[in-house]
């Protein structure tokens, strides 16, 4: 590499650091310099906030691109013609499914919903962009999916006419159906806004998609890019509706060699408030550990570790735009530096709470699982159609959940399984629009009929939502066994629970944590649920009745 190019690339992070206002005074020096972060290893210790109730640990397993009806459209009725046999308990409560709504044989879409077998697990990826999803919902009629989101043909994966109408049952997603049988599930949970992965990930940790700046990957200077941001104001601040890569990540934009602009977010996320309160936490993602480590000035860490799915197709594990904390300077780990020790995981240090998925397993085995953990599978196991599938996803879910259930922390843990977006898969339900938009070029009339939110920073356009309905399960000794909650929830409901459980302030500036209800309604005041370990195929391995005592898991 020439010296001029080396210096030019080294300046990118330094330039990026000046684009956004740091939420907690963090600074990112030039590539090759030490990353100095507020609350780092040498910072003054903060007295840890105590959990308000019996839940001392929250683990969020955040998977990809599933609508509620796509996985639970006939729950608890499985065909049992293929895959793993599933038999429901006789007292299983009724869910709001497409089958119970009578819409399988007579549906307003161009095609009726149809069952996908376990042999059709690897399918085409559907269109899950911001406006096509709005068009599919069609002002609550939910009748335009085939025209707007269905992708029926692709290379090397299963396709069919009107594929977006396809759904699986308990013979394929057996593990999730069994978890729903023994723990709690919501049939009324929605993405906080319409759109693909990045908006969903940002809504999970910040309840906010507004506040993005576009950044030139070569110079780090502000840029104008409608793909990165929409509804930009005079200062070049807008809303994320697509999947731009984060600027504070060496592995973004093919190691910053792409011509695609990168994204930086203003404001605070839940990581900032947990840091302020001394609550241990971490984001753990498959493939975050670099395949080639950062080597100093003028270099970038590389993330090229890959795996194959059940169809033999290979994909790189780490996806930068699936990691929401890397968009914020205060909670980023640009060079993918590892923690210096297992004891550091969840606490301040050079990794800055950003870790590889294997680090979670190390902390769990050591008995030091953080109070709040977000787990993201490598791409081949995250459930995203096109490169993943429900069977590979199930392997990830069962493996991680079994490990947690076999740890001492299980007695005080709530595991959440939910998703970033719907992938454009059909769902017969949609939410009333609560947050509208004025940008008619990007939004349907159902969105523009509702005013966009206005905060102290000004209008926040293109945040139409809530968006599509998605699965949401809570697996915990405190979950209400074999129950289905109907209270409205959204992605930001995870934020609300964390804030209330650890007595943290709301994020403000239009964050959806102000309107989102906590998922606490799915929990009981004492341990009632069995400990249910599953096999790799999702079938039940063992069932242990709950302890009569209250949870006393160790909080790290």
DSSP characters over 274-302:
HHHHT--EEEEETT-S-SB---STT---B
Tokens of 243: 């999947």
Distances (CA, A) of 66 to 115, 298, 350, 393: 15, 40, 34, 11
| Residue 53 burial (CB count, 10 A) | 14
pLDDT digits (tens, 9 = 90+) for 122-131: 999 999 999 9
Three-state DSSP at 7 gives helix
Residue 308 sits at φ, ψ, to 5 deg, of: -105, 145
Which regions in the chain score pLDDT beneath 50?
A: 1-10, 17-44, 549-556
Are the C-beta atoms of residues 415 and 401 closer than 8 Å to each other?
yes
Identify the pLDDT of residue 202: 98
Q: Are 146 and 109 in contact (CB under 8 A)?
A: yes
**Please, are residues 427 and 128 in contact by the beta-carbon 8 Å criterion?**
no
What CATH fold (topology level) applies to the domain 3-427+467-544? Alkaline Phosphatase, subunit A (3.40.720)
Domain boundaries, the chain: 3-427+467-544
pLDDT of residue 15: 54
Segment holding 13, helix H or strand E: helix 12-17
Do the Cβ atoms of 512 and 463 come closer than 8 Å? no
Provide the 10 A C-beta neighbour count for residue 432.
9
Q: What is the CA angle 500-502-507, rounded to 5? A: 60
Q: How far apart are CA 250 and CA 20, in angstroms?
A: 18
Count the alpha carbons within 13 Å of 342 in the hemisphere toward its beta carbon: 12
C-beta separation of 422 from 476 below 8 A: no
Alpha-carbon dihedral sign for residues 469, 172, 376, 223: negative
Q: Which two three-digit tokens encode residue 174?
A: 């057996």
Q: Are 202 and 240 in contact (CB under 8 A)?
A: yes
What's the pLDDT score for residue 51? 82
Handedness of CA 274, 275, 280, 284 (dihedral sign): positive
Task: Report pTM.
Answer: 0.92
What pLDDT sits at residue 168? 98
d(CA 137, CA 130): 11
C-beta atoms surrounding 476 within 10 Å: 30
How far is Cα 23 from Cα 13, in angstroms, rounded to an integer?
A: 17
Of residues 174, 395, 191, the one with CA closest to residue 286: 395
Output the pLDDT for position 24.
32
């Amino acid at each position: 590499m020439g010296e001029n190019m080396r210096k030019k690339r080294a300046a990118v992070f330094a330039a990026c650091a000046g684009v956004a206002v740091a939420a907690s005074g963090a600074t990112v020096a030039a590539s090759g310099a030490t990353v100095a972060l507020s609350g780092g290893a040498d910072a003054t210790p903060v007295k840890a906030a105590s959990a308000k109730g019996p839940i001392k640990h929250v683990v969020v397993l955040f998977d990809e691109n599933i609508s509620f009806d796509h996985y639970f459209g006939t729950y608890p009725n499985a065909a049992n013609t293929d895959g793993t046999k599933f038999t429901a308990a006789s007292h299983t409560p009724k869910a709001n499914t497409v089958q119970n709504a009578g819409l399988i044989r007579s549906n307003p879409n161009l095609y009726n919903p149809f069952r996908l077998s376990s042999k059709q697990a690897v399918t085409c990826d559907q269109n899950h962009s911001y406006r096509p999803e709005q068009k599919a919902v069609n002002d609550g009629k939910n009748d335009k999916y085939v025209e707007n989101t269905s992708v029926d043909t692709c290379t090397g994966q299963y396709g069919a006419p009107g594929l977006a109408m396809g759904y699986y049952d308990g013979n394929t997603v057996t593990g999730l159906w069994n978890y729903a049988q023994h723990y709690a599930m919501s049939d009324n949970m929605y993405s906080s806004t319409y759109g693909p992965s990045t908006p969903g990930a940002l809504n999970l940790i910040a309840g906010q998609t507004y506040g993005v700046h576009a950044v030139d990957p070569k110079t780090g200077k502000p840029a104008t890019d409608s793909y990165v941001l929409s509804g930009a104001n005079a200062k070049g601040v807008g809303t994320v509706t697509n999947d731009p890569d984060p600027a504070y990540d060496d592995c973004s934009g093919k190691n910053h060699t792409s011509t695609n602009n990168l994204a930086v977010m203003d404001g605070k996320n839940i990581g900032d408030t947990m840091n302020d309160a001394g609550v241990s936490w971490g984001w753990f993602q498959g493939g975050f550990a670099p395949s080639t480590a950062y080597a100093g000035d003028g270099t970038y860490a590389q993330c090229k570790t890959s795996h194959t799915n059940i169809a033999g197709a290979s994909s790189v594990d780490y996806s930068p735009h699936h990691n929401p904390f890397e968009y914020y300077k205060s909670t980023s780990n640009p060079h993918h530096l590892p923690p210096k020790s297992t004891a550091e995981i969840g606490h301040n240090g050079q990794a800055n709470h950003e870790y590889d998925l294997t680090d979670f397993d190390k902390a769990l085995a050591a008995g030091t699982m953080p109070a709040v953990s977000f787990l993201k599978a490598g791409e081949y196991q995250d459930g995203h159609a096109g490169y993943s599938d429900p069977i590979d996803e199930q392997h990830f879910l069962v493996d991680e959940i079994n490990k947690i259930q076999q740890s001492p922390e299980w007695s005080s843990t709530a595991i959440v399984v939910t998703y970033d977006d719907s992938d454009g898969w059909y769902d017969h339900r949609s939410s009333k629009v609560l947050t509208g938009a004025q940008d008619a070029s990007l939004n349907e009339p159902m969105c523009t009929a509702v005013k966009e939110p206005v905060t102290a920073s000004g209008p926040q356009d293109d945040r139409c939502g809530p968006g599509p309905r998605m699965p949401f399960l809570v697996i915990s000794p405190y979950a209400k066994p074999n129950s289905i909650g109907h209270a409205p929830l959204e992605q930001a409901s995870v934020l609300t629970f964390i804030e209330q459980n650890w007595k943290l302030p709301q994020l403000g500036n239009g964050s959806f944590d102000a309107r989102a209800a906590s998922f606490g309604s799915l929990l009981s005041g004492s341990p009632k649920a069995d400990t249910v370990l599953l096999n790799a195929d999702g079938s039940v391995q063992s069932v242990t009745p709950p302890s009569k005592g209250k949870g006393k898991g160790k909080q790290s």
